[in-house]
């Protein structure tokens, strides 16, 4: 299957990054969101990201114009009708994703592959919201998408071999590396990563060390490029809480209980970089 046009549903941080890397590899991209303001922010964010590449010498003005020429934005889901692949990149909320996937399925052609960028929700359950579970796959990108090399591919129970192959070829085309994981809560990477971050929140909550020292300890002691609390702020504390709740509800194991401090910070609106405050403050 040849993928030439990609639809991205959701103009948040992940959607922006996915749209940008697709456009940078010559794919035509239509980004859809219900919010005009979100689409304007996405356009500005992608422009700023490309400007950084300009300053680094990784891109020239002609290249920037070419990338921007492959992008368009719309609040009308019907614009997805000609997409070969549609990637759902909405907030990590099951009911929202299911509703969006039903809408996408009703619009796109019968050969279109639908993917979800979910970081924890069952791919089989999401696929069941469509009439094409064989042409549905989990395609989990990592933040920041233009920088991170990995895409995690997750098959649902009914995902076909041809869909898996098409997804692998697409990931290779956008110059990323794919790994495959079984359809289990959190898949492979987040099953390891998110509980580790949650444990760092417990360490902070219990006063064992300051946020600065927790992160410095993990950077210098474990050679991590970024501390777990700074990483939490980058990912979004609301997203981390949602993932931990998926783990806890599915595994029924107390080791996956969300740290009370994590929940309280989300309730306070301290969501990390996107809100200007998380475990650290941001301008």
Q: Where are the domains of the chain?
A: 5-182, 191-271
| Residues forming a β-bridge with 142 | none
CB 55 within 8 A of CB 206: no
25 is in an annotated binding site: no
pLDDT at 283 over 90: no
pLDDT at 195 over 80: yes
Strands 71-74 vs 85-88: parallel, antiparallel or unpaired: unpaired
> What spatial distance separates the first Cα and last Cα of the chain, rounded to whole Å?
45
pLDDT at 1 over 80: no
119 is in an annotated binding site: yes
Which candidate, 211, 203, 217, places its Cα nearest to that of 259?
203
In this prediction, residue 17 carries a pLDDT of 97
Domain covering 191-271 assigned CATH 1.10.1040.10 in the classification:
yes
249 is in an annotated binding site: no
Show the tokens assigned to 48: 């700023």
Catalytically active residues are 119, 140, 152, 190
84 is in an annotated binding site: no
Ordered DSSP codes for 189-244 = HHHHHHHHHHHHHHHHHTTSS-HHHHHHHHHHHH--SS-HHHHHHHH-HHHHHHHH
pLDDT in tens, 34-92: 999 999 999 999 999 999 999 999 999 999 999 999 999 999 999 999 999 999 999 88
177 is in an annotated binding site: no
Strands 150-155 vs 136-141: parallel, antiparallel or unpaired: antiparallel
In this prediction, residue 2 carries a pLDDT of 86
Residue 196's pLDDT band (cuts 50, 70, 90): very high
Assigned CATH for 5-182: 3.40.50.720
pLDDT in tens, 87-134: 999 988 999 999 999 999 999 999 999 999 999 899 999 999 999 999
């Amino acid at each position: 299957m040849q993928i030439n046009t990609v639809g991205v549903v959701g103009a948040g941080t992940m959607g922006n990054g996915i749209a940008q890397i697709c456009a940078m590899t010559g794919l035509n991209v239509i980004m859809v969101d219900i919010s005009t303001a979100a689409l304007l922010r996405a356009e500005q964010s992608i422009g700023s990201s490309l400007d950084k590449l300009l300053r680094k010498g990784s891109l020239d003005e002609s290249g920037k114009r070419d990338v921007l020429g492959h992008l368009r934005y719309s609040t009308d889901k019907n614009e997805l009708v000609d997409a070969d692949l549609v990637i759902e990149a909405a907030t990590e909320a099951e009911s929202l994703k299911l509703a969006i996937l039903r809408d996408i399925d009703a619009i796109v052609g019968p050969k279109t592959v639908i993917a979800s960028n979910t970081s924890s929700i069952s791919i089989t359950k999401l696929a069941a919201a469509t009439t094409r579970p064989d042409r549905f796959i989990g395609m989990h990108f990592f933040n920041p998408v233009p920088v991170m090399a990995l895409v995690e591919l997750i098959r649902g129970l009914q995902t076909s071999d041809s869909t898996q192959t098409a997804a692998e070829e697409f990931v290779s085309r956008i110059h990323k590396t794919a790994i495959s994981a079984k359809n289990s809560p959190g898949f492979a990477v987040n099953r390891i990563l998110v509980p580790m971050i949650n444990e760092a929140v417990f360490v902070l909550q219990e006063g064992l060390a300051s946020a600065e020292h927790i992160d410095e300890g993990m950077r210098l002691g474990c050679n991590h490029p970024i501390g777990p609390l700074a990483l939490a702020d980058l990912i979004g504390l609301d997203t981390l809480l949602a993932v931990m709740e998926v783990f806890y509800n599915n595994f029924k194991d107390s080791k996956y209980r969300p740290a009370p401090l994590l929940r309280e910070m989300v309730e306070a609106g301290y969501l990390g970089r996107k809100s200007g405050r998380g475990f650290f403050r941001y301008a």
